[in-house]
Amino acid sequence: MLYQNLARPVLFRIARGDAERAHESTLRWLVRLSEQRQVRNALIKVNRPSAPVTVFGVPFPNPVGLAAGMDKNGIAVGAWPALGFGFAEIGTVTAQPQPGNPKPRMFRMPRSQGIVNRMGFNNDGAQALAARLSAAPAVDCPLGISIGKSKAVPLDGAIEDYLQSMRFLYPFADYFAINVSSPNTPGLRQLQDASSLRDLLGALRVEGERLAAGRAQRPVLVKIAPDLTESAMSQLLEVCLEAGVAGVIATNTTLGRDGVDPSEDAVAAEPGGMSGRPLTAVSREIVRFVHRETGGRLPIIGSGGVMTPDDAQAMFDAGASLVQIYSGLVYNGPGLVRGSVRRFKNPAKRRHRAPTRT
């Protein structure tokens, strides 16, 4: 409650209602924390609960991670384990540096505990991220890197664009998240179509084999949209299984606007993807669908609307092997990370149970 009652109001007030400014202020503080190695290490010992789990061949200190979008440029990678996270996913990064969409492009809905954004993959580019990670101290948790398509690159050049990012970043990733589901890059979601996705994943597999040079390849996961029909999602999952991907991330932000408090309809009307509490039930049902449709063969990172430890536990019960947090961190602070890990460790504390899986 300390975060909700003290830290969050101060941060929001300093930012004067500008959600992106609040985000940047938080990152600046975390960059300073990331640079203080002794302080950071002490906080990891105190704040990071241990619940070791190995998923798609990667050992995680605990199953609760930071979702992509919070630290697009990897400037605070050292801070995330100090806040309790068992892994962090940075990006989404693109092969070409790009400023993203015009501001304002991020909007809070406090009553709904939601966020609307149309950031547009604003980032410094894959080469700059690689240089930053090369110069940074070792990260104290697994690092996922989310890669997407540069806006200036047409769809028929998307494969080479993704491959270029993978080449720059391969030495630094514990896994790659292939973002083909953001609603904020025109045409990007077309890459979820079966034929386009099959070609992309095939090229990434071949390039991964080359870059691994006889060693184990970096796992590749596909991040999916919550707005697909069940038929389209089934086709996508079939392609993922055929391509041998390591898992899926369910889900990205949604274009839907269900679950918004009526007083915040004007904010919800802003174009962009919505995250947070309005996405909770949708993402959880998609996790359950993916688990059932694939017979548990594809590990799932549950992402979207994890706002409380109950939400995290419901994701695990639905079939997720790991969960990710973003909006929940904004609204409820780092205590959410520790509480979510404790639910994973202590099944007796579960309040939500999924129906028996078939």
Amino acid at 314: A
Helix, strand or coil, per DSSP, at residue 59? strand
Give 70's contacts (C-beta < 8 A, 6+ positions apart): 23, 27, 326, 329
Tell me if 253 is assigned to a ligand binding site: yes
| Annotation marks residue 112 as catalytic | no
Tell me if 16 is assigned to a ligand binding site: no
Tell me if 122 is assigned to a ligand binding site: no
Tell me if 1 is assigned to a ligand binding site: no
Distance (Å, rounded) from C-alpha 92 to C-alpha 126?
10
Token digits of residue 293:
């449709």
**Annotated active-site residue in 34, 112, 181, 182:** 182
Tell me if 146 is assigned to a ligand binding site: yes
Give 110's contacts (C-beta < 8 A, 6+ positions apart): 264, 331
Say if residues 150 and 98 touch (Cβ distance below 8 Å): yes
Distance (Å, rounded) from C-alpha 358 to C-alpha 293?
10
Would strands 58-60 and 53-55 be described as parallel, antiparallel, or unpaired? antiparallel
Say if residues 115 and 260 touch (Cβ distance below 8 Å): no
Tell me if 5 is assigned to a ligand binding site: no
Tell me if 179 is assigned to a ligand binding site: yes
Tell me if 229 is assigned to a ligand binding site: no
**Residue 242 CA, distance from chain mean position:** 24
Tell me if 223 is assigned to a ligand binding site: yes
Tell me if 92 is assigned to a ligand binding site: yes
Amino acid at 297: R
Tell me if 72 is assigned to a ligand binding site: yes
Tell me if 326 is assigned to a ligand binding site: yes
Helix (H) or strand (E) holding 94: none
Question: Which residues carry a binding-site annotation for FMN?
Answer: 68-72, 92, 146, 179, 223, 251, 276, 305, 326-327
Question: Which residues carry a binding-site annotation?
Answer: 68-72, 92, 117-121, 146, 179, 184, 223, 251-253, 276, 305, 326-327
Question: Which residues carry a binding-site annotation for substrate?
Answer: 72, 117-121, 179, 184, 252-253
Q: Which residues are catalytic?
A: 182
